[in-house]
Structure 1
Amino acid sequence: MKLLTFLGTGNYAQTTYTWEDQELTTKYVAAAINEFFDIDTVQAFLTTEARDTHWMMFSKAVENAEEVFIPSGRSEEELWQIFEAVVNAVEPGETIVLDVTHSFRSIPLFVFLAGTYLQKSRNVKIGGVYYGAYERDRPRSPIFDLTPTLKFIDWLTATDKFLDTGSAKDLGQLLTNIQRDFYKQGRQKREPVSPRQLSNFGKRIQAISESIELVRPLKLMEETALLDKISYEDLQEDVGAFAQPFSLLLDKIQADYHQFALPNPREASSQETLRKQVDLLGWYIDKSLSAQAILMGRELTVSVLCVALKFNYLGKDERQDVERGLNSLVVWREDTQKPRPLALEGLVTMIPDLDLDWLSKFWSRLREVRNDLAHTEMRSDSLSAAKMSDFVKKDLLKDIKTLMTVLPQ
């Protein structure tokens, strides 16, 4: 395990640093951390001025220390040089401890952020973040464990993912972990309150996110309806006591997901179920989830026509009949002098107001985009991503809403 510490030019006074039942009298908190924890090497980051002031004494107090030169951080260029020095001092997969007690200006904060970046990008494990709370008028100075602040980075990342994509999988995992770790550590035996709903809610929003990601609209409706069975009052209490960063998102997640809630969607009114799916299609488009939107739009088209024909829209044979009718329509519109295909007759008879010319063009384009997506560009004349995205953003939802008008009111 490697300790990263930073030295400034200040006049560090001798004090007794304490950690739990351990203590060490020294000028340098890094010497105490090095003593208290299982540290193999110490990387001491220091400017030329800090080296002249402290290195000789520091290297005697911390014999396993190595010096790493950094600039003063007075400009953006120098801050990036500090970042590079930190990155080069750490190997992928290594465990590091950060001492953010000393250094110049904002360097400790910048290095803390660099450490968390390494945690994500190079699989570096941060074993701890510590600060020596020196006070001039006290003989003992406690070392504070700032490691829990790392969780803010996880909350930030998970929140950003939810706001961008609508996926709360990472947020759900954080909530589940909080409750699991609480009971695993036996804290319920010594603390007055315990989390009761975090894990349940976390698993629920993870399941919802998976249904969104894999385009499971009916399962999504079932899962979001189950959110109502979780006591909102109990959940708010748990979040306030154990997951405060989540409190800012709780209402937004509830509102975003609740719009899709429908108990027993397979037994509900087909029109109601399809309207929920249209809402989901719009949500996919708003979140720039074009692949899901294309798949959803294609199946919605078949479902709407099934319902208009009074077919079982979940029946395999019924769906295939509608698909054959649509494909026959595209072929027939290329030469309307030919007799109308038998597969098309049901559509014309049951939905007399249907604009066949519009439907042919829409289905032809939607089919082309969906097939190109499914074949992952393994075609000689594949569409560009920009063309597919343009169709989704400009036309898909508008055309699906137009098609929905064929349903009985």
Structure 2
Amino acid sequence: MTILLSFIGTGRLYDTVYLLGGQEFHTPIIQEALCRYYKPEKVILFVTKGARSANLPKIRSVLSSFVVSEVDIPDGKCEEEIWEIFSIVTKSVSEKDTILFDITHGFRSLPFISLLSIAYLKEIRSISLSGVVYGAFEAGERIKTDSGVEISRAPVFDLTGFVSIFDWMAGVRSFLHHADAGLLNEQVKRISDEEFCKTQNRSGTKPLLNLLGPLSTYAEAVRLSRPVEAVSVASLIYDRFPQATEAIESYTPVLNPLLSKISDIGNFAVSESDVLTSELIQKQRNLIQVQLDMGLYQQAVTLGREWMVTVLLHAAGSGREWLLKNTRFAAENALTGAEKLLSRQNNKEQSDNFHQNSRFLEWFCTCDSWKEMVGIWSRTSQLRNELAHCGMNSDSQKVQTLLKQVKNFPESMDRYYTLIMEYSK
């Protein structure tokens, strides 16, 4: 249902010509102009005690052909009354209603309450927002009617764009803190559709549309622990972001500082994501930190263990083969073999010839700090397994214990990297 929500004031209602969408509506009642233009299925008037006696009878009479209901609200003279107004407004609509909010006669804190109510209702009731409008009587020009009476010809401002800032903020926050580009996609497609309705093309918003694909891919790569694809698509984001910024400048310049936060993704970009270099290793390490900061603990630990295999290949001079399945398998076997070798040594058991089991094992075990590195690998593997099995065993770790290990994980990774790279020099 499409509903017009409007506040009734106590001030004098001046004869006015309201300008809406290229049309003129001659009436002292802004709600009449809005009803004639938007044709809502229902009108809800929020009325204070003073407004009920001052202006409601006249407004009621003018809107007699529309479905109108009145809802009493307090004056909003104290904090308790403000909260009461907020509660009344948000309870006045139903799930998935389409709302047109008129704040022309919103006095004191009512416009502020209106904006908060909209944000709240979109989240809680899944409403659709048709518009937020304000009859700008003071901004009108003075004209004379046919009878020679001087009145105001006033524009009706559409303030919906200001409300959309909440949606953009939510989209950027969701992307940066949760690797979810869904809300940003919705906002870009919304303004692109608006452009198409006006111009029958999408040339102005095309740079933003071109940015959506890489942003979505990057977000999913972070969530799915795909570092090669993440750093590769980060290069596309870096290349396309300047044009997208220019597009935002044309539509909603106020959003540029907000969206500029996304440009930091360019820091993960590398020219060749399949060539293993120290730079790429550091980019992947930074990506693991991003996952940890987002609370993607299982993904971060899983990627961290793979990163340790990658570091071994780089240190051992096999960086050109780092994405080959058999090479990675051999490097992982070397770390696992070293783990078994250390266990046998600690238990004073007879050692088999583990050095023949992996092309990297002998090299690794000649490192001065190989035992410390094996300990880090072993703890990482145990942590990965603990997370992967979801606590489905009788001796699983408690959440707080597990979380403490995850928090200490970055320090262990960095120690591993320092030790192995010192040996490779």
1:371 paired with 2:385, answer: yes
User: Residue 263 in 1 paired to residue 274 in 2?
Assistant: no
SS of residue in 2 equivalent to 1:129: strand
**Structure 2 gaps, min length 5:** 143-150
Letter of the 1:259 partner, please give it: N
Matched, 1:301 2:312: no
Give the alignment partner of residue 128 of structure 1, picking from 131, 154, 157.
Answer: 131
Q: CA separation in 2, counterparts of 1:364 and 1:5?
A: 65
Residue 231 to residue 368, structure 1, CA distance change in 2 (3 Å): closer
Which deviates the most, 327-336 or 384-393? Answer: 327-336
Q: Secondary structure at the residue paired with 2:10?
A: coil
Alignment-derived partner of residue 340 in structure 1? 351
Q: Percent identity?
A: 28
**How far off its partner does 1:172 sit?**
5.3
Give the whole-Å Cα distance in 2 for the aligned partners of 1:160 and 1:260.
19
* 8 Å contact kept, 1:302–1:319: yes
User: Which of residues 279, 294, 299 is equivalent to 2:286?
Assistant: 279
- Match of residue 26 from structure 1: 27
Q: Is the 8 A contact 1:321 1:343 kept in 2?
A: no
What secondary structure, in the 3-state scheme, does the structure 2 residue paired with 1:71 have? coil
- Distance across 2 between alignment mates of 1:113 and 1:123: 14
Answer yes or no: is the 8 Å Cα contact 1:172–1:201 preserved in 2.
Answer: no
Paired residue secondary structure (2:5): strand
What does 1:33-52 align with in structure 2 at a 5 Å threshold? 33-52=34-53
Aligned position for 2:100 = 97
**Aligned with 2:173 (options 150, 156, 160):** 160
Please give the root-mean-square deviation of Cα atoms over the aligned residues, in Å: 2.9
Residue 118 of structure 2 aligns with an amino acid whose one-letter code is G
Give 3-state SS (helix, strand or coil) of 1:197's partner: helix
In the other structure, the counterpart of 2:147 is none
8 Å contact kept, 1:98–1:112 = no
2: CA distance between counterparts of 1:319 and 1:207?
25
Aligned residue pairs total 402
Q: CA 1:278–1:107 in structure 2 vs 1: closer, same or farther (change >3 Å)? A: same
Q: Which amino acid aligns with 1:174?
A: Q
- Aligned: 1:353 with 2:354: no
**In 2, distance between residues paired with 1:173 and 1:164?**
17
Asked if 1:387 corresponds to 2:401, the answer is yes
Shift in alpha-carbon separation, 1:200–1:7, aligned structure 2, 3 A: same
Structure 1 pair 184/212, CA: closer, same or farther in 2 (3 Å)? farther
Pair 1:341–1:134, CA change in 2 (3 A): farther
Does 16-25 or 110-119 show the bigger shift? 16-25
Deviations 1:348-377 (A, max 9, x none): 520212534423432332222212222233
Match of 2:161 among 148, 151, 162: 148
- Displacement of 1:260 in angstroms is 1.6
Return the alpha-carbon distance in structure 1 between the equivalents of residues 314 and 212 of structure 2: 36
Deviations 1:306-352 (A, max 9, x none): 44445533233333344444445545545431133544665552021
Contact in 2 for aligned 1:176/1:203 (Cα 8 Å): no
Partner of 1:88: 91
* Partner-residue secondary structure (3-state), 1:259: helix
Query: SS state of the match for residue 383, structure 1?
Result: coil
- C-alpha spacing 1:243/1:343, structure 2 compared with 1 (3 Å): farther
Q: Deviations over 1:280-324 (max 9, x none)?
A: 223333444423321221111222234444553323333334444
**Equivalent residues of 2:90, 2:121 under 8 A apart:** yes
Contact 1:326–1:360 under 8 Å retained in 2:
yes
1:66 corresponding residue in structure 2 = 69
8 Å contact kept, 1:5–1:99: yes
- State yes or no: 1:197 paired with 2:210: no
Matched residues in 2 for 1:231 and 1:111: separation?
A: 34
**Cα distance in 2 for residues equivalent to 1:163 and 1:299:** 24
**8 A contact 2:7–2:103 mirrored in 1:** yes
Return the TM-score normalized by structure 2: 0.83
- Alignment match of 2:247 (pick from 223, 228, 238): 238
Question: 2 CA distance for matches of 1:114 and 1:378?
Answer: 43
Q: 1:348 to 1:85 in 2, by over 3 A?
A: same
Counterpart-to-counterpart distance in 2, 1:25 and 1:365: 77
Change (3 A) 1:85 1:180: closer
Matched AA of 2:349: K
- Distance in 1 separating the partners of 2:279 and 2:19: 65
Question: 2: distance between equivalents of 1:62 and 1:314?
Answer: 71
Kept in 1: contact 2:172–2:259 (CA 8 A) = no
8 Å contact kept, 1:174–1:202: no
* Residues 324-335 of structure 1: pairs in structure 2 closer than 5 A: 324-330=333-339, 333-334=342-343, 335=346
Q: Which residue of 2 aligns with 1:320?
A: 329
Evaluate the alpha carbon distance shift between residue 57 and residue 139 of structure 1 in structure 2; reply closer, same or farther with a 3 A threshold.
same
Q: What residue is the counterpart of 1:399 in the other structure? A: 412
14-23 or 214-223, which moves further after superposition? 14-23
Mark the CA change 1:390 to 1:224 in structure 2 (over 3 Å): closer, same or farther: same
Q: Deviations over 1:369-397 (max 9, x none)?
A: 2122222333333333333332232x222
Q: What is the Cα deviation at residue 251 of structure 1?
A: 4.4
The equivalent residue for 2:148 is none
Aligned mates of 1:332, 1:73 — CA distance in 2: 75
Instruction: For structure 1, list consecutive stretches of 5 or more residues without a partner in the other structure.
Output: none
- Distance change (3 Å), C-alpha of 1:92 and 1:187: same
Moved more, 244-253 or 40-49: 244-253
